[in-house]
Amino acid sequence: NAGVTQTPKFRVLKTGQSMTLLCAQDMNHEYMYWYRQDPGMGLRLIHYSVGEGTTAKGEVPDGYNVSRLKKQNFLLGLESAAPSQTSVYFCASSSDADRGQGYTFGSGTRLTVV
Amino acid sequence: GQSLEQPSEVTAVEGAIVQINCTYQTSGFYGLSWYQQHDGGAPTFLSYNGLDGLEETGRFSSFLSRSDSYGYLLLQELQMKDSASYFCAVVNQAGTALIFGKGTTLSVSS
CA–CA gap between residue A2 and residue A23 (Å, rounded): 12
CA–CA gap between residue B43 and residue A25 (Å, rounded): 16
Mean residue pLDDT across chain B: 95
Contact B50 A99 (CB under 8 A): yes
Q: Which of A57, A31, A53, A54 is nearest to A44 (CA)?
A: A57
Q: What is the mean pLDDT of residues B63-70?
A: 96
Task: Choose from A48, A95, A98, A107 for mutation: most chain B CBs within 10 A.
Answer: A98
pLDDT (0 to 100) of residue A101: 77
Tell me the one-letter amino acid at A74.
F
pLDDT (0 to 100) of residue A72: 97
Tell me which of A99 and B74 has the higher pLDDT: B74
Q: Which residues contact A30 (CB under 8 A, 6 or more apart)?
A: A50, A51, A71, A94, A95, A97
Q: Which residues contact A41 (CB under 8 A, 6 or more apart)?
A: B102
Contact A101 B87 (CB under 8 A): no
B97: nearest CA partner in chain A: A97
> Rounded to a whole number, what is the largest CA-CA distance in chain B?
44
* Residue A86 contacts residue A14 (beta carbons within 8 Å): no
Q: What is the mean pLDDT of residues B12-20?
A: 98
- Per residue in A74-105, pLDDT (tens digit) is 999 999 999 999 999 999 999 976 667 789 99
* Position B66 pLDDT exceeds 90: yes
Tell me the one-letter amino acid at A56.
A
pLDDT band at residue A2 under the 50/70/90 scheme: confident
Mean residue pLDDT across chain A: 95
Residue B51 touches chain A, beta carbons under 8 Å: no
Tell me which of A44 and B92 has the higher pLDDT: A44
A5: nearest CA partner in chain B: B42
pLDDT band at residue A1 under the 50/70/90 scheme: low
Contact B97 A99 (CB under 8 A): no
Contact B45 A31 (CB under 8 A): no
Neighbouring-strand partners of residue B33: B48, B89
pLDDT (0 to 100) of residue B27: 83
Q: Which of B78, B110, B85, B84 is nearest to B100 (CA)?
A: B85
B95: nearest CA partner in chain A: A98
pLDDT (0 to 100) of residue A102: 84
pLDDT (0 to 100) of residue B22: 98
